[in-house]
Amino acid sequence: MQVVLVGSDPDGITDALESEGHTVTVADVGNRPGLEEAGVHDADVYLLTEMAQATSIAVAKDLNPDLRIVVYAEGSLPDFASRQADLVVDPNLLGPEAVAEEL
Protein backbone atom coordinates (compact mmCIF):
# COMPACT_ATOMS: atom_id res chain seq x y z
CA MET A 1 0.00 0.00 0.00
CA GLN A 2 1.21 3.51 -0.78
CA VAL A 3 0.98 6.02 2.05
CA VAL A 4 1.51 9.77 1.88
CA LEU A 5 2.40 11.15 5.29
CA VAL A 6 1.96 14.85 5.99
CA GLY A 7 3.65 16.32 9.03
CA SER A 8 6.38 15.31 11.41
CA ASP A 9 6.86 11.78 12.70
CA PRO A 10 7.72 11.95 16.41
CA ASP A 11 6.08 8.59 17.13
CA GLY A 12 7.91 6.60 14.44
CA ILE A 13 4.88 5.62 12.38
CA THR A 14 6.92 5.75 9.16
CA ASP A 15 9.20 2.95 10.39
CA ALA A 16 6.21 0.94 11.58
CA LEU A 17 4.45 1.28 8.22
CA GLU A 18 7.58 0.34 6.27
CA SER A 19 8.13 -2.71 8.47
CA GLU A 20 4.61 -3.84 7.51
CA GLY A 21 5.60 -3.57 3.83
CA HIS A 22 3.93 -0.25 3.03
CA THR A 23 5.64 2.41 0.92
CA VAL A 24 5.72 5.81 2.63
CA THR A 25 6.45 9.18 1.08
CA VAL A 26 6.51 12.33 3.17
CA ALA A 27 5.20 15.78 2.36
CA ASP A 28 6.38 18.26 4.96
CA VAL A 29 3.66 20.69 3.91
CA GLY A 30 0.25 19.49 2.77
CA ASN A 31 -0.28 21.95 -0.06
CA ARG A 32 -1.07 20.95 -3.63
CA PRO A 33 2.55 20.98 -4.90
CA GLY A 34 3.81 19.10 -1.84
CA LEU A 35 1.12 16.44 -2.08
CA GLU A 36 1.60 15.98 -5.81
CA GLU A 37 5.36 15.64 -5.36
CA ALA A 38 4.77 13.02 -2.64
CA GLY A 39 2.63 10.99 -5.05
CA VAL A 40 -0.86 11.58 -3.66
CA HIS A 41 -2.44 10.74 -7.03
CA ASP A 42 -1.28 7.11 -6.70
CA ALA A 43 -1.57 6.79 -2.91
CA ASP A 44 -4.00 4.56 -1.05
CA VAL A 45 -3.75 6.31 2.32
CA TYR A 46 -3.27 9.90 3.37
CA LEU A 47 -1.80 9.98 6.87
CA LEU A 48 -1.86 13.28 8.75
CA THR A 49 0.31 13.64 11.85
CA GLU A 50 -0.18 17.35 12.58
CA MET A 51 -3.60 18.80 13.33
CA ALA A 52 -2.33 22.23 12.26
CA GLN A 53 -2.35 20.95 8.67
CA ALA A 54 -5.94 19.65 8.75
CA THR A 55 -6.90 21.81 5.78
CA SER A 56 -4.64 19.63 3.66
CA ILE A 57 -7.18 16.80 3.94
CA ALA A 58 -9.53 18.65 1.58
CA VAL A 59 -6.68 19.25 -0.87
CA ALA A 60 -5.68 15.57 -0.78
CA LYS A 61 -9.27 14.40 -1.35
CA ASP A 62 -9.59 16.84 -4.24
CA LEU A 63 -6.49 15.36 -5.86
CA ASN A 64 -7.44 11.75 -5.11
CA PRO A 65 -11.09 11.18 -4.07
CA ASP A 66 -10.43 7.49 -3.32
CA LEU A 67 -7.87 8.18 -0.57
CA ARG A 68 -8.41 6.67 2.84
CA ILE A 69 -7.80 9.49 5.32
CA VAL A 70 -6.08 8.54 8.57
CA VAL A 71 -5.18 11.07 11.26
CA TYR A 72 -2.55 9.99 13.78
CA ALA A 73 -2.15 12.98 16.06
CA GLU A 74 -3.13 14.47 19.40
CA GLY A 75 -5.97 16.96 19.55
CA SER A 76 -9.17 17.25 17.62
CA LEU A 77 -9.92 17.93 13.99
CA PRO A 78 -12.01 20.86 12.84
CA ASP A 79 -15.53 19.80 11.83
CA PHE A 80 -14.91 20.21 8.11
CA ALA A 81 -11.94 17.85 8.27
CA SER A 82 -13.47 15.27 10.61
CA ARG A 83 -16.23 14.61 8.06
CA GLN A 84 -13.59 13.57 5.53
CA ALA A 85 -11.47 11.44 7.89
CA ASP A 86 -11.90 7.68 7.85
CA LEU A 87 -9.93 7.05 11.04
CA VAL A 88 -8.64 9.33 13.79
CA VAL A 89 -6.20 7.86 16.31
CA ASP A 90 -4.51 9.52 19.28
CA PRO A 91 -0.88 8.31 19.55
CA ASN A 92 -1.29 8.22 23.33
CA LEU A 93 -3.94 5.53 22.97
CA LEU A 94 -2.56 3.33 20.20
CA GLY A 95 1.05 2.81 19.20
CA PRO A 96 2.40 3.17 15.67
CA GLU A 97 2.92 -0.58 15.23
CA ALA A 98 -0.77 -1.29 15.91
CA VAL A 99 -1.89 1.41 13.47
CA ALA A 100 0.49 0.15 10.77
CA GLU A 101 -0.75 -3.41 11.25
CA GLU A 102 -4.39 -2.35 10.90
CA LEU A 103 -3.76 -0.42 7.69
Rounded CA gap, 18 and 102, in Å?
13
pTM, 2 dp? 0.94
Give the neighbor-by-neighbor strand order of the sheet with 2-6: 23-27, 2-6, 45-48, 68-72, 87-89
Question: pLDDT tens digit string along 73-101?
Answer: 999 999 989 999 999 999 999 999 999 99
* Per-residue pLDDT tens over the stretch 52-72: 999 999 999 999 999 999 999
In the chain, % of residues over pLDDT 90: 93
Residue 103 banded pLDDT, cuts 50, 70, 90: confident
